[in-house]
């Protein structure tokens, strides 16, 4: 390109060389940047045969190819559900059927290559629930993902043999029983906390803690995964906070005043990352030990302490009552489009005895 000379009045010399100088500097910078400042270009080049070492592909970078997915566009002005609350005041999603696309979520968590741990306590005669629990988990829980079932029991010989899918394993952890079912329930927090440190942190990415006297009846998958989640109690999801059965005695570490509280979370389904679950269980165990030293026991034991913890440490995701329901007691309201994890009909007193 030929630039016309640019002259200014009162100047003895023209400035016609300035654009040409700028052009040459630009060319040099581009050339220099491609050769020196962009090491990716030379790193990705492959040598031709006969040049130095044998021809090889670069190993420094991993190319991730996502499948082409087709799904309806999310519409900003159209809420996924209008009949239920889908977001907490601290911006944690509340998971209901119709609020997520499981295909998108499955692809995202497969890219992360996650392994999910599921802890369950089968102490004394509660071991009778294990077979149905594990068989239905194989049908509905984290299908297509790696799963470790951790069964805490005082009767390892009575753990049933259940066929497991690829990438899924059963680990039996022998632990002592206890005289009272309340002590069994409360000891879970200590045992889970201890095993988080001893092995869970090295073996799984997320950890779920659930009751054994249940069965999976529909899909429960990666939509629940989050750093910390709790599950709405099916008996209180419509109730005002004043009606929640929190621990109301100020002497207890689980105490929650009547003018406080977000939701009432049940003790039979909580979880998150291993690190967060360890913090939760350790804190609840320490609070229960403090109560014991003061001669008090929270009204609903570990569940009361769980609610105190989740009030102070807001969960990053909340599961709707779809994720633990008792159809025999509560029927099936219209808002429950799916019943995913359900109580097994039983005689509690007979089992405890």
Residue 225: inside a domain, yes or no? Answer: yes
Residue 78 belongs to some domain of the structure? no
Please check if 245 is assigned to a binding site.
Answer: yes
Catalytic residue, from 97, 223, 276, 303: name it: 303
Position 21 scores a pLDDT of 55
Euclidean distance between CA atoms 350 and 348, whole angstroms: 5
The per-residue pLDDT for 70 is 87
**Catalytic-residue membership of 303:** yes
Tens-digit pLDDT string for the chain (353 aa): 444 444 444 444 444 555 555 556 554 544 444 444 443 333 333 333 333 333 334 445 555 565 678 888 999 999 999 999 999 999 999 999 999 999 999 999 999 999 999 999 999 999 999 999 999 999 999 999 999 999 999 999 999 999 999 999 999 999 987 767 667 767 899 999 999 999 999 999 999 999 999 999 999 999 999 999 999 999 999 999 999 999 999 999 999 999 999 999 999 999 999 999 999 999 999 999 999 999 999 999 999 999 999 999 999 999 999 999 999 999 999 999 999 999 998 765 555 55
pTM: 0.79
Q: For residue 61, what pLDDT is reported?
A: 54
Number of domains observed in the structure of the chain? 1
Task: Tell me if 22 is assigned to some domain.
Answer: no
List the CATH number of the domain containing 270: 3.90.550.10
Contacts of 43 by beta carbon, 8 Å cutoff, 6+ apart? 58, 60
User: Are 207 and 329 spatial neighbours (Cβ–Cβ below 8 Å)?
Assistant: no
265 within domain boundaries? yes
Distance CA 125, CA 190 (A): 21
**Cβ proximity of 194 and 175 under 8 Å:** no
The reply, when asked if residue 255 is annotated as ligand binding, is no
**Assigned domain for 35 exists:** no
Question: Cα–Cα distance between 250 and 247 in angstroms, integer?
Answer: 8
CA angle in degrees (0–180, nearest 5) for 89-105-64 = 125
Could you tell me if residue 209 is inside a domain?
yes
CA angle 122, 126, 130 (to 5 degrees): 65
In a domain, 40, yes or no: no
62 is a domain residue: no
83 annotated binding-site participant = no
Q: Is 78 annotated as a binding residue?
A: no
256: Cβ–Cβ under 8 A, 6 or more apart, which residues? 244, 246, 247, 248, 307, 308, 311
Query: Would the annotation count 237 as a binding residue?
Result: no
Find the domain containing 154 and state its range: 94-352
Element (H, E) at 23: helix 17-32
């Amino acid at each position: 390109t030929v630039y016309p000379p640019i002259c200014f009045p009162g100047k003895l010399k023209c400035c016609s060389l300035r654009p040409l100088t700028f052009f040459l500097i630009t060319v040099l910078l581009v050339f220099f940047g491609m050769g020196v400042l962009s090491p990716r270009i030379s790193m990705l080049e492959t040598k031709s045969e006969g040049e130095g070492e044998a021809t090889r592909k670069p190993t420094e970078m991993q190319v991730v190819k996502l499948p082409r997915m087709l799904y309806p566009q999310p519409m900003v002005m159209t809420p996924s559900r209008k009949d239920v609350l889908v977001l907490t005041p601290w911006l944690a999603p509340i998971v209901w059927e119709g609020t997520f696309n499981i295909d998108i979520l499955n692809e995202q968590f497969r890219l992360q290559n996650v392994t999910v741990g599921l802890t369950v306590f089968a102490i004394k005669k509660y071991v009778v629930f294990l077979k149905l629990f594990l068989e239905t988990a194989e049908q509905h829980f984290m299908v297509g993902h790696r799963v470790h079932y951790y069964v805490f029991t005082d009767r390892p010989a009575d753990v049933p043999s259940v066929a497991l899918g690829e990438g899924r394993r059963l680990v039996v952890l022998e632990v002592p029983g206890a005289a009272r079912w309340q002590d069994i329930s409360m000891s879970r927090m200590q045992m889970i906390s201890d095993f988080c440190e001893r092995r869970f942190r090295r073996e799984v990415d997320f950890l779920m803690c659930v009751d054994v006297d249940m069965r999976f009846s529909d899909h429960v998958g990666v939509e629940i995964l989050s750093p910390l989640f709790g599950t709405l109690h099916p008996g209180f999801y419509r109730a005002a906070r004043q009606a929640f059965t929190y621990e109301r005695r100020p002497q207890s570490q689980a105490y929650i005043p009547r003018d406080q509280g977000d939701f009432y979370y049940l003790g039979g389904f909580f979880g998150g990352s291993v690190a967060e679950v360890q913090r939760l269980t350790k804190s609840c165990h320490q609070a229960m030990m403090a109560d014991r030293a003061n001669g008090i026991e929270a009204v609903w034991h570990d569940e009361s302490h769980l609610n105190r913890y989740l009030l102070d440490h807001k969960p990053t995701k909340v599961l709707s009552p779809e994720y633990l329901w008792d159809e025999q007691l509560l029927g099936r309201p219209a808002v429950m489009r799916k019943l995913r994890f359900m109580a097994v009909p039983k005689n509690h007193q007979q089992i405890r005895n």
